[in-house]
Amino acid sequence: MLGFFAILKLIKIIFNIAIIYRYKKSGDLMDILTFMQQMVNGFSLGSMYALIAIGYTMVYGVLRLINFAHGDIMMVGAFLAYTFMAVFDLPFPLTVLLAVTISASFGMFMDKIAYKPLREAPKISLLITAIGISFFLENAFTVFLGGVPRAFPVPEYMENIFNVAGVTFSFASIMVPIVTLFLLMGILYVLYKTKYGMAIRALSFDIKTVNLMGIDANTIIALVFGLGSGLAAVGGIFWAINYPSVEPMMGVLVGLKAFAAAVVGGIGSVSGAVVGGFIIGFTEVVVIAFFPELGGYKDAFAFIFLILVLLFKPTGIMGEDLEKSRF
């Protein structure tokens, strides 16, 4: 708890310094409308990080594995959506359904062929395998589809612009946080109100004991990979809508930032992953608003903030001792 309040105090100090710096440089404080505009942009960006971070934290909670191929699953989901819309001209809702379903199935298939044979192997073997899968997906898509970014066919209604009390936002930017919160509630319902969720939480404590109780641990682990991959696909589709292009390397940096969000929120905590995503997204947008000249370094702020959080609370904002609590 002390670490949490220390982090809040640190955030307050950083923003106070930023405001003072801004005032001394321009002689005018950032007006409330500009601040609200950056809030909307920050939460939209943070929601996309959060969707991907949930997959990181769920897999880690069960297998103690940082699945570095997770960001590339986001890329796969975005490319599937691009293919269904640009090539087959399918409607957007059907595109999302198919892309998420196929991505979830691909995540389960990836677990079966790459991670399942290594259940008893040292954790470093799993980590190396995850990195290998990441490189394989990136290079395979580059070879077969080319490395040139492709314009994503954004539905017209997603580009509709609204103005509320001087704050402008697109339909897509406001949909992302809403969808993220609904999916978070759905994941929490599965984890705490269903038998599968109970099995997932039991599995995170002791795989061998779960097997002795008659539960197929491999099936539950595959389910976790499927859920995480489906959420990553949703994040990838929203990313392609807000930044309308797809390319094989699009998941690398986004995946690393989502991992940072999962650690900031508390690796192993689903709610923490969402909170961490919002914090990383908000910080990245607002700091650039305060310091426009640092725009070229915006990708570094997520990792700087990660270091600062870990200095005060190594388990993350909502993280606990993983030997005592999961999810």
CATH at residue 39: 1.10.3470
Q: What number is the average pLDDT over the span 263-267?
A: 88
Q: To the nearest whole percent, how much of the chain has pLDDT over 90? A: 46
Residue 48: pLDDT above 70? yes
- Report the pLDDT value the prediction gives residue 3, as an integer from 0 to 100: 44
Residue 295: pLDDT above 60? yes
Cα atoms found within 13 Å of the Cα of residue 231, Cβ hemisphere only = 34
* Distance separating alpha carbons of residues 222 and 116, to the nearest angstrom: 9
Domains in the chain, number: 1
Cβ neighbours for 105, distance < 8 A, ≥ 6 positions apart: 226
21 torsion bin: left (phi>0), alpha (psi -120 to 50), beta (else): alpha
Any domain includes 199: yes
Cβ neighbours for 316, distance < 8 A, ≥ 6 positions apart: 263, 264, 265, 266, 267, 269, 272, 276, 309, 310
Any domain includes 59: yes
**Taking a C-beta distance cutoff of 8 angstroms, is the pair 231, 184 a contact?**
no
**Taking a C-beta distance cutoff of 8 angstroms, is the pair 83, 246 a contact?**
no
Any domain includes 306: yes
Residue 184: pLDDT above 70? yes
- Report the pLDDT value the prediction gives residue 29, as an integer from 0 to 100: 47
Q: What number is the average pLDDT over the span 310-324?
A: 72
Any domain includes 324: no
> pLDDT tens digit string along 84-141?
999 999 999 999 999 999 999 999 999 999 999 998 888 889 999 999 999 999 999 9
Q: Provide the pLDDT confidence category of residue 2 given band limits of 50, 70 and 90.
A: very low
* Distance separating alpha carbons of residues 240 and 226, to the nearest angstrom: 21
> Is the Cα dihedral 317, 320, 322, 327 positive or negative?
negative
- Report the pLDDT value the prediction gives residue 4, as an integer from 0 to 100: 46
Any domain includes 106: yes
Q: Provide the domain limits for residue 77.
A: 2-312
> Is the Cα dihedral 306, 321, 43, 71 positive or negative?
positive
Residue 259: pLDDT above 60? yes
Q: What number is the average pLDDT over the span 300-318?
A: 83
Any domain includes 321: no
Any domain includes 211: yes
Residue 67: pLDDT above 70? yes
Any domain includes 241: yes
